[in-house]
Each structure stands twice: as structure tokens, then as C-alpha cells.
Structure 1
Amino acid sequence: RRAVEDRGGEATTLNNIGGVYSDLGEKQTALDYYNQALPLRRAVEDRGGEATTLNNIGRVYDSLGEKQTALDYYNQALPLRRAVEDRGGEATTLNNIGHVYDSLGEKQTALDYYNQALPLLRAVGDRGGEATTLNNIGRVYDS
């Protein structure tokens, strides 16, 4: 028998395995899985999934201190999040971008991104995300 080809499902599984390795602190292995998922997401034209994987890759690079590379991936994810009207995901990516700018000492730019995320989180009713974003804004003002 021939195996059923489900590239979308394979991409999701690869992305999820990458997430587990990232959580375990095995960042390079996580990147390996995310980088296997990404072309499959693109092949099946899963723009939402592609945005998620790009965001995840950005998070790994951010955690590795490679801030510019993280921004590159977040900035690829952002228009895809908007294109598929994933407001919660868009807010997450905006928050992630804000975090990078905050860590780079670019406080006003960080605030700009956090303040873009806030109304999106309120619109989707993500009170936890809203609280995190308000905390991020407060931290910037505190610094």
C-alpha cells in the first residue's frame, strides 16, 4: 500500500515537535523541525500555519539572542497573520516584535508595537494576553 500524503498534517506535526524541543531548551533541534515544516506549510498554501512557524522560528532566535534574525522572521509572519485575519496571532507577533525592540533599548518602538497589540487582544477577548501586554507597557515606562 502507498502511504497517504498529508503534507499539511506533516507540517503541523513537525511544527509541534519543534515546539517541544524549544520548550526543552534544545533550540537548534527546534529550528531543524521548524525549517522542515516551513516549506511544507508553503507548499500547501497554509498561510496561517506558515505565520505560526515563522513566529516560532523568531522566538527561538530571540531566545538565542539573535535579535535581528528574530525580527526578520516576525516581520515575515506579521503580514501573513493579517492576511488570514488572525487577530490573536497578529497580537502575539506584535508583542514579540515589541519585546525585541525593548531588549534592544528602543523603548518608543517597543511601545508602538505593544500599543498595536492591545486593541487586538481586547477585540478577541484575550484577557491574559491583554494583561501581559499591559505589563510589558508598564515595564517599558518603568525603565
Structure 2
Amino acid sequence: MEQPSNIPGKTYVATLVTVPPNAATPPHIHNGAAVYAQVIKGRVLSQMIHQHTVTNLDGTIEQQEHDSGVGIYESGEMWYEAPGCRHVRAENASDTEEASFYANFVIDTEKLEGVDKKDLASVLTILDKDPRSPHYYAAESV
């Protein structure tokens, strides 16, 4: 964990994630963090739902949802998760090979105050209460 001087109030956290064959995480969010992930081994299937506020030409404001669609990322490829988006699918895309990727978080420093390193994962990744979102079932199988 580092607190870069050029982004006051933010902390940078780098993690290595290893995913066994056929394994997946339940849908989750990253506690307001921006996340850049880069695959270093294997293939990772990823799908995110972004929600954002839009001001229409007539001045009305509405919430819109954008589905990133299913993507499969291979060694050397990256994806970005905007603050507040839901990661509805995160899976190893192989039945036989392990996958690994770096997940790099930029998060508000105050969210990490008093957090023991052993509890860091539960602060950075908050699992949905319902382990399967409707988007999970609606997503195309790859």
C-alpha cells in the first residue's frame, strides 16, 4: 500500500489474484475504488455493470446502466473497473489451467484507516448479498 503524493487522500493497493481452473467470484463491488487489472497467466472472463447519472438535453436527470458485455482477457491484456461499478462475472476461463492477474486499486485512504492487512480483501471487495445477480443469469455463456 502506498499513498502517492500526487493524489492526496487516495491509497494505491496492488494485489496478485490467483484463480484455480473453473473458479469464479460472486458478483461484487470494490468499495468506491478504481481498479486496473492485468492478466499475467491464463485467461480471465470479466463482465461489469456501470451505473451513472445522465443529464438529458431537456434538463431531466436519470440513472443509466451500461453493461460492459462479457470479455475474455489473456496474458498481457488489461481491463478497468470504474468506481462504483458491479463486477457481475469474474471467472477463470479455463477448465484446466490456473489464471493470475494483478488488481491495482486506487481507493479513498479513509476507507482503509484502522484496517488490519489480513482484513484488507474484505474492504477492497464487497460481495453482493445475493450471490447471483440477475445480470449473471442474463449474460451469454462463453
Higher strand share: 2
Work out whether the TM-score is over 0.5. Answer: no
TM-score by length of 1: 0.23
TM-score by length of 2: 0.23
Larger RCO: 1 or 2 (CA < 8 Å, sep 6+): 2
